[in-house]
Amino acid sequence: MMLRELIKRKQLTVLGLNSGTSADGLDLAAVQLDFTKTRPKIKYFYGKTVAYPKDLSLKIDAAINNRLQSIDDLVLLDRRLGVFFGEQAARIIRLLKARNIKIDLVASHGQTVRHLPGKFIYKGKKQSATLQLGHPESIAEATGLVTVADFRQADIAMGGEGAPVTTGAMSLLFSNKKESRLLINIGGIANYFLFPAGNRFDQIKARDCGPGNSLIDILTRQLFGKKYDADGKLAARGEISWRLLSLLLSDKFLKGQFGVSTGRERFGEKFAGKILRYAGKLHLKREDILATVTELTAVSIAKNIGADIIHHKIENIHLFGGGWKNRYLMARLKSNLPDVNLIAVDKLGFNPDYLEAVCYAIMGGLTIRSIITGLPNVTGTGGRAIAGKIVQPAGR
């Protein structure tokens, strides 16, 4: 369907594509958006994760860790990711068509390879920059559908950090009149979202807490040769080093001295290298190192939300992202937050694996209808952004 027809539709069925900082693969989620009422209605009906092929995964890792040979490599990676996203989206669109579900629009976040919050000053204010790869034109070509992408850049242009960018979409799903709700996403980076009761949009809070699985993944790979610490079993065999932990907690972002977002530039390979050097001096075992970095994730989340839990009388915390499956991490989070229940976000009707892809699908739909996707007091922009770039397929 052409853009000029799409913008008139009160109902849109959107395929959202997400690839997070863990760079483990592509999440795809299909949702139906109904714009008949002021607050759009959202119905979720499909989700899937596809792992990156090995060669792409190595290239992404190289881009994130400054190991690409040239700008050519970066440009080629952008296009190859777009082709991969397009292929996967087209496959799911065919599969859904066989079930009588017709996708109208694709919304793609892209793969973040750089996130640089507050790195230069313009007009007396700290400015940010960020880069997501995955050539949306290639997605539009492969699917024949209008594709909305690059959801962070409008917010960045308006002086925001471009993150946490999904808060507006999340508020449509979770803001509630009667109940304050707190959600935590544990992907590569961990972030939280607070929706105070009464739909008070100006009081919604969201920010990155610090590392999620990023350091756990890197150190599990370096120390044990595995992709991630399945169920947290390796960390569970270790002992937390409180000395190492207190050294790591002196990080400036964790102490709240920077803005609201962070990335693998800070909590990535360099930071993991620092951990290994300290751990060597302290003669820690491999398992102790993992136990300690897992505690770092748990403590930095707890520190960020402790006051809000009391102030908003939060009883349940709703979790999503892959970290939810790390049982040891969940046990440590519970130990740091003994007065709340930790439950998966499916209690609120959404599969924890696909929630971010659902959010990008929503943002794609909002963009097509020129609805502001941001919120005040979250990313630093006053929330005026209409987030996505609209890419159109070849005329048919």
Tell the residue number behind the tokens 């052409």, with chain if given: 2
Identify which of residues 114 and 126 has a Cβ nearer to ligand ADP in the complex.
114
Identify which of residues 104 and 208 has a Cβ nearer to ligand ADP in the complex.
208
How far is Cα 294 from Cα 329, in angstroms, rounded to an integer?
A: 6
The nearest distance, CB 25 to Mg ion, in angstroms, is 6
- Sequence-ordered list of residues with C-beta below 8 angstroms from that of 295, at least 6 positions apart, any chain: 240, 245, 332
5 to 24: interface string for Mg ion, x by CB under 5 A: ---------------x-x-x
Short-list 98, 54, 49, CA closest to 325: 49
Residues linked to residue 320 through DSSP beta bridges, in sequence order:
185
Q: Which does 229 bind (CB under 5 to 8 A by kind): ligand ADP, Mg ion, none?
A: ligand ADP
213 contributes a contact to ligand ADP by CB under 6 A: yes
Q: Fill in the DSSP letter of residue 353.
A: T
Q: Which does 326 bind (CB under 5 to 8 A by kind): Mg ion, ligand ADP, none?
A: ligand ADP
Does residue 136 have a cis peptide bond before it, meaning omega lies within 30 degrees of 0?
Answer: no
Taking a C-beta distance cutoff of 8 angstroms, is the pair 41, 34 a contact? Answer: yes
Identify which of residues 64 and 145 has a Cβ nearer to ligand ADP in the complex.
64
Identify which of residues 229 and 287 has a Cβ nearer to Mg ion in the complex.
229
How far is Cα 217 from Cα 290, in angstroms, rounded to an integer?
A: 9
Contact set for ligand ADP, span 312-331 (CB under 6 A):
321-323, 325-326
Of the residues 12, 16, 24, 127, which one makes contact with ligand ADP according to CB under 6 A: 24
b/e per residue 344-377 (b: at least 16 CB within 10 A): bbeebebbbbbbbbbbbbbbbbbbbbebebbbee
229 residue type, one letter: D
Contact set for ligand ADP, span 58-117 (CB under 6 A):
none
187 contributes a contact to ligand ADP by CB under 6 A: yes
Q: How far apart are the first and last CA of the chain?
A: 9
Identify which of residues 171 and 326 has a Cβ nearer to ligand ADP in the complex.
326
Select from 14-22, 71-79, 175-183, 255-263 the region that touches ligand ADP (CB under 6 A).
14-22
22 contributes a contact to ligand ADP by CB under 6 A: yes
How far is Cα 389 from Cα 393, in angstroms, rounded to an integer?
A: 13
Identify which of residues 24 and 251 has a Cβ nearer to Mg ion in the complex.
24
Distances (CA, A) of 63 to 57, 83, 221, 316: 10, 18, 18, 38
The nearest distance, CB 352 to Mg ion, in angstroms, is 11
How far is Cα 313 from Cα 77, in angstroms, rounded to an integer?
A: 46
230 contributes a contact to ligand ADP by CB under 6 A: yes
Select from 85-93, 225-233, 288-296, 376-384 the region that touches ligand ADP (CB under 6 A).
225-233
- Which residue number has the CB closest to ligand ADP? 322
Select from 15-23, 85-93, 129-137, 198-206 the region that touches ligand ADP (CB under 6 A).
15-23
Q: For 5, list phi and psi in degrees, rounded to 5.
A: -85, -40
47 contributes a contact to Mg ion by CB under 5 A: no
Q: Footprint of ligand ADP on this chain (CB under 6 A)?
A: 20-22, 24, 187-188, 213, 216-217, 228-232, 321-323, 325-326
Residues that bind Mg ion (CB under 5 A): 20, 22, 24
